Structure 1
Amino acid sequence: MNTENARSQPPHEPSGCLTGVARGIALVVVLPVRLVWDALAFCLRQLWRWVLAPVGRALGWLIDVLLVTPLRWLWEWVLVPVGRALWWLVDTVLLTPLGWLWRWVLLPVAKGVWWVVDLLLVTPLTWLWRYVLAPVGRAVGAALAWAWHIAGVISRAVGRAVGWVLWNVIGRPLAWTYRVVLTPVGHWLRTWVWAPVAAAARAVRAAAREVRVALFGGSR
C-alpha cells in the first residue's frame, strides 16, 4: 500500500516547507483578485436581475405598446383596407374601362383604319411601284445608259474629226513652215549672222582687254 502511494506521487515534488511558502504567497496574491472578481460578478448579476432585465422588459413592452401594436393595427385595419379599396376603385374606374375601350373601340377602329389605309394607299402605291414606276424607271435607266454610251461614241468621233481638221488646217501648215522655212532660216542666221557677230564681239572684248592691260597693267 505504501509502495503504491509512493509511486503515485510526483518524482520531483518539492519539500513540504517550500510548498507551503509558495502556496501562501500565491494565496496572498490571488485572494484579492478573486474577491474583486466575485464581487464584480455578484454586482453584475444583481444589476442584470434587478435593473437591466426589468428595464429591458419595460422598454420592450413600451415599444410593443406604443409602436409595434399601433403600427400592426394601422397596417391591418387602415392601410390594407384602404389599399384594397383604392385598387378596387382604380380597377373599376380606370383599368376596366380602359381595357374595355381598347378591346372594343380602339383596337377595332385601328384595324379598320389600317384596312382603309392599306386598301386606299398602301396597295395602290405598291401596285403603282411594282407595275409602273419600277418598269418605267428601269426603262429610263437603260435608255439613259444607252444614250450615254452613244453620246460617248459620238463625242470621241467628233473629237477625232475636229483633231484631224485642226491638224490639217493649222498643225500641218505650221509644221511645214517650221520645217521648210524657219529651220533653214535659223540655220542660216546662226551660221552667217550670229556666228560672225559672236566672233566680232569676242575680238572686240580681246582688243579692249589688250588696251586695258597696255594702259593700266594687270593680268590678261
Structure 2
Amino acid sequence: MDLEKPSSATPEPQPYETKSYETKSYESKSYETKPAPRQQQDATPEGCLAVAIRIPVRIVVLVLVVPVRMVWDALVVGGRFLRDTVFRPLGRAVMWVLVPVGRAVATVVEWLAKLVFVWPWVGLWRYVVVPVGRGLGWLGHVLFVVPGVWLYARVLTPLGHGIMAALRGIGTGCAWLWRVLVVVPAGWLYARVLAPIGRGIAWVVRGVAAGVAWVALRVWAGIAGAGLGVWAGVTWVFSGVWAGVTWVCRGVWAGVAWVGRGVWIGLAWVGRGVWIGLVWVGGGLWAGLTWVGRGIWAGVAWIAMVVGALLRWVFVVPAVALWRWVFVPVGRAIAVVAREIGTAIGHAWRVAGYVSLAVGRFLGRLFRWIFVEPVRWVYKSVLTPVGHVVRDAIWRPVAEAARGVGRGARQALASARETARQTRADVRRMLFGARPEPEPVSLSKGLREPTVVPARTLEGRSGRDDLSPQARG
C-alpha cells in the first residue's frame, strides 16, 4: 500500500520484490549524488492523503481556533488591564503596608534572636571567659614565667657559664697531659728506638733474602735436571698403559654397542607393532564417533531447521507482514494527519491572531467613536468653557474675598497677641520691678592673655636703653 502520490517527472517505480539488494545498497551508499536535505524535502512529492485532508482540516481548525484565539487575546488584554489598574496598585499598597510590618517583625525577631542567642554568649565571653582567662594568664605568668625567667637568668645561666669554664679548663688540662704523656714519648720512642731497630731489621732481612735466593737458585737447577729425567720415564710408562687401556675400552664399547643395537631393533619392532595396533583401533573408534557425530549433527540441524521454519512462519512472517502492511501504512497516515493538523493549527493560530488583532482594533476604534470622542468633545467644548466661566466669575472672587478675610483675621490676632504681651510686661514690672539692664563687658577684662605694660619712654626712646650697664645693675 503506497500512501504517497508518485511524481509525474519520475518513472514508475518497480515492485518491491523485484528490486535487487545491490541496487538498494548502491543507492543508499551513493553519497556523492545525494541531494541536499532542503532540496530533497522540496522535491519529495506529497501524498494524496495530505492533499485530500489539508483544506478541510485547515478550515475546521480555523473555525475552532479563531474563537479560542480571540478569547485568549481578550483574556490577555483583561489580564494586562487588571495588572496595570488593580494588581500593581494593590501590590504597592500591600507592600506599603506590609514592608513596615515586615521590618518591625524582622527587627523584633532579630532583637529576640540576639537576646536569646547572641547576648548571653557575649556576656559570658566578656564577663566570665575573658576575666577568667586573664586571671589564669596572670597566674600562669606569676607562677611559671617569672620564676622560670628568674631561674634562667640568676641560676642556670651562671651555672652554665661555670660548667663551661670548668669543662674548658679540664679539656685544656687533658690535652696537655695527652701531649706530655703520650704524644711526646711516642714521638721520642719512634724517632730514637723504633726507627733505628726497623732500619737494622730491614738490612738483615735484605742480606738473608739475598743468601736464600742464591741457595734456592742452585737447588732449583739440580731439581730441574732430576725432574726432566723422571718425567721422561713416567711419560714412557704411562704411554704404554694408556695404549692398553684404550684397546680394552674399544673392545668393551664395540660389545656394548652391538648389544644396544640389537635391543634397540627389538624395541623398535615391538613399538611399531603396538603403534600399528593402536592406529587401527583408534581409526575404527574415530570412524564410529564420526559417524555417530554426523548423525547427531544431522538430526540437530534438521530439528533446528524445522523449529526455525516453524518459528519463522508462526512469529516472524506475521510480525513482518503486520509491520509492513499495517503498522507502516497506519503510521504514515497518522504522521501525515498529525503533520497536517499541526501545520493547520499553526496557520490557524497565526490567522486567528491577525483576525483577533483586526477585531480588537475595530472594537477599540468603535469604543473610541462611541465613548471617547463624545466624552472628549463634551470635555473640550462644554465642560472646559463652563469651568473657565465658573473659575473667573465665581471661584476667583470668592478666593480673593476669603484671602482678604484671612488677612484681616491674622492682623487682628497679631494685634491681640501684641496687646496681651504688653499687658503681661506691665503687670510684671508693677509686681517685680524693672529687670536690670546688663552692663557691657570690657574687652580687656575678657582677655585671657596677660597684658604687658609698655615701657616708659622719653622723647620717643626707652629709658632702659639710655641707662648705663652699671645703672641697670
With normalisation by structure 2, the TM-score equals 0.27
- Larger helix proportion of the pair: 1
Structure scoring higher RCO (CA < 8 A, sep ≥ 6) equals 2
With normalisation by structure 1, the TM-score equals 0.49
For the pair shown, the structure with the greater C-alpha radius of gyration is 2
